[in-house]
Amino acid sequence: MTSYDLVLARGRVIDPETGLDAVRDVGITGGVIRAVSGRPLAGTTRVDVSGLVVSPGFIDLHSHSMDVAGHRLQALDGVTTVLELEAGAYPVAAAYRRAEIEGRPLNYGFATSWAVARMAVLLGLETGGGLDDFLANVGREEWQRAATQGAVDAIVGMLERDLSDGALGIGILVGYAPRIDPSEYLAVAALAARAGLPTYTHARELVEMDPGTPIDGAEEIVRAAAETGAHMHYCHVNSTSIRHVDRVLGLVEKVRAEGSRVTTEAYPYGAGMTGVGAAFLAPELLHRRGLTPHSIGLLGAEGRIADAETLRGVRETEPGSAAFVHLLDEDDPAEFAFIQRALTFTDAAVATDAVPLLWRSGTPDPLSWPLARDAVTHPRTAGTYGRTLRRLVRENGVMSLAEAVRRCTLVPADVVGSGVPAMRRKGRVQVGCDADLTVFDPETVSDRATYTETARPSAGFVHVLVGGDFVVRDEHLLPAAMPGRPVRS
Ligand SMILES: [Zn+2]
């Protein structure tokens, strides 16, 4: 009888692609799933997971928390692959190199970054592949200005080189430079179409929020899909649409019916987070989103911003500082319904928009575990998946468990997989697929992070395996585990 390195025995295996939802043994050897069987399998190590769900590992399309500490918090939330696709990284090779040298608990990957390439051209910036390049310059007007044809050509050329260097697509933070000419956006989408890779957009303003916008943010995305044939992915449709989510999703539905490829994602929180210097947080623009300075709180500081004067001051002195933006009250069922509609939209992925941890002491300590007490983040970094399973499945009953699992696994695998063959071996519990697996208790799985205890790990994720290696075992993170591998196009 064949013996496997590891057998997860008698778990409830959910495989969204085949529709399997039954008690099975899963046999793993060499980091790959070798057997999924109704009969008992023999293994060098046999772990009884009866009463627990065995799911493909969760795939996060939208994480900015790419260091070891961020990976560990996400591992405890069921994640096995973290991808930085919206902001992206430029140059992408530098981002991969850093992760490879330092080691990562989870699989990782990057899109190239339109915003950082634009900063490099318009600000003459030397860029190192980290998010800090973007955060340090986000508030500067010069990178947001209209570009000459020559500059656009230079930016597109840089992105093209990064795509052939393994980038998973193009991240387009157009919402941070919302006055650029729509033709530049179309040129970037056309490049993606030629390369056969998706784009990932943080949309610019909706007309409801800025009647003077050069183009409606949602129209721009769907139009690019129709006109260029590119696969356009619409990032965190909850936080950029807020109360206009039905109109936005209606547009997406319409172009999909006409044959365009537009995919979406959402996260189950009412507060966004961004650099306080972002264009749309200017005091005179807040009313467009129904906000006031008091809707904003700086990460790591007590309370909210008092008035417009204070806001102007912090935007001036520390534009890269992370700030909570309370868009919707997630404890009010009527307001949570807007978020829920984004999450339950046809084929929407669950994605976190995880933000980098910040150490209040000023001394980053990403390698120590447990996390230092002064480490803070947005609760979505630690709790998005536990919260989705708790609120949408268990409490509100708007989604079956199998459907929620699909939106955390197969759906994101297929978004990236449209141009990246390696992703077709993820998001699935099938023979020949990567042994990235999440084992959780459907009765107790839950988020525990809050806006005050921002970095509390989720509960109920019992085992998390990356390429067949335990990163979480018996609900405990294994600090020595660094099995993460790069995902490249
Ligand atoms: Zn964003």
Write a three-state SS string for the chain: CCEEEEEEEEEEEEECCCCEEEEEEEEEECCEEEEEECCCCEEEEEEECCCCEEEECEEECEECCCCHHHHHHHHCCCEEEEEEEEEEECCHHHHHHHHHHHCCCCEEEEEEEHHHHHHHHHHCCCCCCCHHHHHHHCCCHHHHCCCCHHHHHHHHHHHHHHHHCCCCCEEECHHHCCCCCHHHHHHHHHHHHHHCCCEEECCCCCCCCCCCCCCCHHHHHHHHHHHHCCCEEECCHHHHHHHHHHHHHHHHHHHHHCCCCEEEEECCCCEEEEECCCHHHCHHHHHHHCCCHHHEEECCCCCCCCCHHHHHHHHHHCCCCEEEEECCCCCCHHHHHHHHHHHHCCCCEECCCECCCEECCCCCCCCCCCCCCCEECCHHHHHHHHHHHHHHHHHCCCCCHHHHHHHHCHHHHHHHHCCCHHHHHCCCCCCCCECCEEEECCCCCECCCCCCCCCCCCECEEEEEECCEEEEECCEECCCCCCCCECCC
What pLDDT is attached to residue 420? 95
Q: How confident is the model at residue 465 (pLDDT cuts 50, 70, 90)?
A: very high
* The last residue of a domain, from among 377, 400, 420: 420
CA of 34 to the centre of ligand 1 (A): 38
Domain that holds residue 17: 3-56+427-477
- Residue 473 in any domain: the answer is yes
Q: What's the predicted TM-score (pTM) here?
A: 0.97
**258 and 165 housed in the same domain:** yes
C-beta separation of 16 from 406 below 8 A: yes
CA of 272 to the centre of ligand 1 (A): 9
- Residue 239 in any domain: the answer is yes
**48 and 81 housed in the same domain:** no
- Residue 485 in any domain: the answer is no
CA of 463 to the centre of ligand 1 (A): 30
CA of 478 to the centre of ligand 1 (A): 31
Neighbours of 407 (CB within 10 A): 25
Q: Which residue has the higher pLDDT, 411 or 300?
A: 411
- Residue 261 in any domain: the answer is yes
CA of 203 to the centre of ligand 1 (A): 8
For β-strands 375-376 and 437-440, DSSP reports them as: unpaired
Mean pLDDT across the chain: 96
Alpha carbons within 13 A on the beta-carbon side of 164: 7
CA of 71 to the centre of ligand 1 (A): 19
What pLDDT is attached to residue 300? 83
**326 and 464 housed in the same domain:** no
- Residue 488 in any domain: the answer is no
**281 and 393 housed in the same domain:** yes
β-pair partners for 342: none
CA of 353 to the centre of ligand 1 (A): 7
pLDDT of 1 above 80: no
* The last residue of a domain, from among 420, 442, 462: 420
Residue that is written with structure tokens 């018996």 in the block: 474
**365 and 274 housed in the same domain:** yes
Q: What's the CA gap between 287 and 414, in Å, rounded?
A: 38
CA of 202 to the centre of ligand 1 (A): 5
Q: What's the CA gap between 360 and 253, in Å, rounded?
A: 43
pLDDT of 360 above 90: no
CA of 234 to the centre of ligand 1 (A): 10
* The last residue of a domain, from among 400, 420, 440: 420
CA of 239 to the centre of ligand 1 (A): 8
CA of 400 to the centre of ligand 1 (A): 28
**38 and 86 housed in the same domain:** no
What pLDDT is attached to residue 147? 96
Q: What's the CA gap between 352 and 350, in Å, rounded?
A: 7
CA of 236 to the centre of ligand 1 (A): 7
For β-strands 296-298 and 322-326, DSSP reports them as: antiparallel
CA of 135 to the centre of ligand 1 (A): 12
- Tokens describing residue 464: 């998390």
**42 and 140 housed in the same domain:** no
- Residue 483 in any domain: the answer is no
**434 and 414 housed in the same domain:** no
**414 and 439 housed in the same domain:** no
List Cβ neighbours of 114 (8 Å cut-off, separation of 6 or more): 88, 155, 159, 170, 171, 172, 173, 174, 188
pLDDT tens for 273-329 read 988 998 889 999 999 989 999 999 999 888 899 999 999 999 999 998 899 999 999
What pLDDT is attached to residue 102? 97
List Cβ neighbours of 160 (8 Å cut-off, separation of 6 or more): 191, 195
**28 and 109 housed in the same domain:** no
What pLDDT is attached to residue 361? 87
pLDDT tens for 425-458 read 999 999 999 999 999 999 999 999 999 899 999 9
- Residue 370 in any domain: the answer is yes
pLDDT of 394 above 90: yes
- C-alpha distance from residue 92 to each of 112, 134, 158 (Å): 6, 14, 11
- Residue 103 in any domain: the answer is yes
**260 and 282 housed in the same domain:** yes
Q: What's the CA gap between 483 and 63, in Å, rounded?
A: 18
What pLDDT is attached to residue 357? 95
Q: What is the dihedral of CA 327, 329, 330, 334, to 10 degrees?
A: -110
In total, how many domains does the chain have? 2
CA of 58 to the centre of ligand 1 (A): 20
For β-strands 437-440 and 53-56, DSSP reports them as: antiparallel
Section 51-67 average pLDDT: 98
**431 and 317 housed in the same domain:** no
pLDDT tens for 101-118 read 999 999 999 999 999 999
pLDDT tens for 158-169 read 999 999 999 999
